[in-house]
Structure 1
Amino acid sequence: MIRTILYLTVVLLCGNVYAQDYSYFTKTIRTFYTSAAEAEKQYDLLVSKEQIPFAIGDSVAFLYRGEANSVAWMGDFNGWGYDKNFHNKGTRIPNTNIWILKTSFPADARLDYKIVVNESTWLLDPVNTHQQWSGVGGGSPNSELRMPRWAADPVTEPMEGIQRGKIQKDILINSALLGYQVTYSIYTPPGFNPAQRTIYPIIYITDGYEYMHEQMGNMPVILDNLIHLKKIKPVIAVFIDHREPVNRSNNRRMQELAMNSGYLAFITTELIPKIEKQYMVSIDPKDRAILGTSMGGLTAAYFAFSRPNLFGLAGIQSPAFWFKPEIYTLCENPEKPPVKIFMTTGTINDTREGAEKMKTLLNKNTCTYQFREVNQGHSWGNWRDLTDDILIYFFPAN
């Protein structure tokens, strides 16, 4: 009885908070329609407080000021234009050049977006300081909507006064199997000393350039922090670059990561032996991980279920299982399920449907796994936020 009373009290209190939030949101938006002068004043006030987009509770108003015939917002919330059911067109506030789009998202959502003016000019939000370099391949920023209950994970930012690992970048390997050159980078943990002959676990990472990039995956910083906090044991990481070494604009990921048996052979018979010859790393599958996002998530599942004798750990982020549906057949009845899988997906125009289908198969074949969903889209903000969870699951400190 006491527990029931406490539960009802919490529900009522939370409901009251949401009611107050929505009341404040409605009052603020109403001000824009009082007069043109009040609209300009309210807009400037929100800009000064860095509150555009204006988000309270689960409600949000996108705002843009500028002369235009039309203004729309494109982003994770409408699949960057693919989801036609989401109303993304703004309306002009009368007698002003201020445009508004009101909508709602989960209170802990984080989403990428851009503004589209006159159906042709794509802009970063000029009054939003939050940006996220995004999309697989990255290279340019999006504006970032941070709903009130979303908060950045501190472990994704550099910690002061700690030892840092070292990165040897752009190591070249000539692949006889692929018939071309591949580059990769190696992260060695703080205190690494080959003379000590310490044996380290190892993780291989597809889309390694993006996972390394400080504006995208920022994974070396996450590794440094987790090792310092003693949340994971020291680990060596291999960041595989899919860009052609002499022409970085040519990214081969769509070929290499599409359940490509030739690429799997390159990794297992050329790259891994080279790494294991040069570094004291464990050869036990339970200490060897493969990690990737989107097409790389598809590849992580493909590698682990094809070669469980090599990869006992598979980090699968926002997997593009739709690209090769035969992955489900491969994973449905494995001879020996991988030891551990950590799979993640966003809930907003990401890969939730395919991930849920794979989750059903993992239950069926008795895999040991963790599954996480977050209210985000197909974005490096999503994947970076969950990298620490994967690493802690794979390499917990003793």
Structure 2
Amino acid sequence: MAALFSGVVAGAETINFQLNTGKRGQNVLLASDIFRWQDALPMKETAPGQYSVSMVEPWLYRMEYKFIVDGHWIPDPGNSELASDGMGGWNSVRHVDFREDPILGASDPGSFVRNEITVRDWEGDSRIIKVVRPRNTRGKRLVVVYFNDGDGYLEYANAENLLANLSKDPKMPAFAGVFLNAKDRDREYYANDDYAAFVARTVVPAVERTLNAKIQPTDRLIIGISLGGLSSFYITLKHPDVFPFVTSQSGSLWFEPSRMHRILRKLSGRKLRFVIQMGLYDESDMVSSSREMARALEGMGFDVIHTEFPGTHDWVPWRNLLQQTLRHFFETR
């Protein structure tokens, strides 16, 4: 039974921008680094010469913005905090009241064991795979999370702290993490059959030998961001017996959707579970392709959760969705 949730994550609030030009009928827009200074928001004239617009509060610490009034770019005259725009002018700066998930905070440094294993890829080259595992599972079952762009998840997403802290939760299993890194990201992450087979058929057995554990497929999750999100999605499509659960964070699901749909149709009836997460303020083709893929998965009867978060292509929202993601797949209810 497909379960589709589509919408902005709970708790999202709005922020307002206002400008008084004193002139009626002007074309006034809000431009921001959130939109890469391109997709400006039109502002509505709410009173003669007064313009306003609201947006969902982004999951960021600060944003830079300008107003565009009849084609002229100006900083916000009501905001004294400015930052150089790099072209001799100024952007207005607005701080956002965003709070990190405390689960990402420090964990007991002795609670995890770190290993590096060496495996050979399909070209005969050596790859070093980082594995972190709990020192003591305390009788819990062991779940293994595989991260594409693994060094990024370690450095920018505090993934080791997350896994260690969640492992202490009585409603959660013990978590191990496997941190994968591409040699050539573009070549390997663009739905590459060799890379998919390498992860599923070479890395997974090597990891489980290191863990001295036989992990059930439903106790594995593969996750990635951007191209790594596409790669994770594709690995599940090509090797559903190994990775029936996948999360794509701002994944490049615009890539060859018809190819993905052909593979998915052949998997009809398989108990696969998908989480697709996308920033409202990402590029428009990224947002639309994620929506289309979520609808396609639902239409084919797969279990899919589609979440749009108020953010951009950035590690801040990605790491703050990790707890929600792991609870969705593995929390005891």
Give deviations 1:329-358, integer Å, cap 9, x for gaps.
333452443432222111112532111111
Q: Does 1:202 align with 2:144?
A: yes
1:250-269 equivalences under 5 Å are: 252-269=184-201
Calculate the TM-score normalised by the size of structure 2: 0.73
Partner of 1:172: 118
- Asked if structure 2 preserves the Cα contact closer than 8 Å seen for 1:340 and 1:367, the reply is yes
CA distance in 2: counterparts of 1:263 and 1:118, whole angstroms: 40
Deviation of the 1:188 alpha carbon: 0.3
CA distance in 1: counterparts of 2:307 and 2:41, whole angstroms: 25
- Asked if structure 1 preserves the Cα contact closer than 8 Å seen for 2:164 and 2:175, the reply is no
Partner of 2:176: 236
Partner of 1:222: 162
CA distance in 1: counterparts of 2:191 and 2:175, whole angstroms: 27
Q: Does 1:75 align with 2:21?
A: no
Larger radius of gyration: 1
Partner of 1:154: 102
**Match 1:306 to one of 234, 238, 253:** 238
**Match 1:279 to one of 208, 211, 214:** 211
Partner of 2:250: 318
Query: Which of structures 1 and 2 has the larger relative contact order (alpha carbons within 8 angstroms, sep 6+)?
Result: 2
CA distance in 2: counterparts of 1:57 and 1:307, whole angstroms: 41
Deviation of the 1:276 alpha carbon: 2.1
Give deviations 1:186-210, integer Å, cap 9, x for gaps.
11024159xx9x8622221100000
Deviation of the 1:238 alpha carbon: 0.5
- Cα 1:240–1:122, aligned 2, differ >3 Å: closer, same or farther? farther
Q: Could you list the runs of 5+ residues in structure 2 that have no partner in the other structure?
A: 1-12, 19-29, 43-51, 65-82
CA distance in 1: counterparts of 2:104 and 2:59, whole angstroms: 15
Partner of 2:45: none
User: In structure 2, the residue corresponding to 1:361 is in which secondary structure?
Assistant: helix
Deviation of the 1:386 alpha carbon: 0.5
- Cα 1:393–1:162, aligned 2, differ >3 Å: closer, same or farther? farther
CA distance in 2: counterparts of 1:387 and 1:223, whole angstroms: 10
CA distance in 2: counterparts of 1:260 and 1:181, whole angstroms: 18
The structure in which a higher percent of residues are helix is 1
Percent of aligned positions with the same letter in both sequences?
A: 21
Give deviations 1:167-199, integer Å, cap 9, x for gaps.
33x543232x13423222111024159xx9x86
Partner of 1:346: 279
| Letter of the structure 2 residue corresponding to residue 155 of structure 1 | I
- Cα 1:162–1:274, aligned 2, differ >3 Å: closer, same or farther? closer
Partner of 2:330: 395
The structure in which a higher percent of residues are strand is 2
Deviation of the 1:375 alpha carbon: 0.9
Calculate the TM-score normalised by the size of structure 1: 0.62
Q: Could you list the runs of 5+ residues in structure 1 that have no partner in the other structure?
A: 1-55, 62-71, 88-101, 129-144, 245-251
1:1-398 equivalences under 5 Å are: 58-59=15-16, 75-76=33-34, 78=35, 80-83=36-39, 85-86=40-41, 104-106=54-56, 108-111=57-60, 113=63, 117-119=85-87, 145-146=95-96, 148=97, 150-158=98-106, 164-168=111-115, 170-175=116-121, 177-192=122-137, 200-213=142-155, 216-242=156-182, 244=183, 252-325=184-257, 326-350=259-283, 351-397=286-332
CA distance in 2: counterparts of 1:200 and 1:299, whole angstroms: 24
In the comparison of the two structures, how many residue pairs are matched? 282
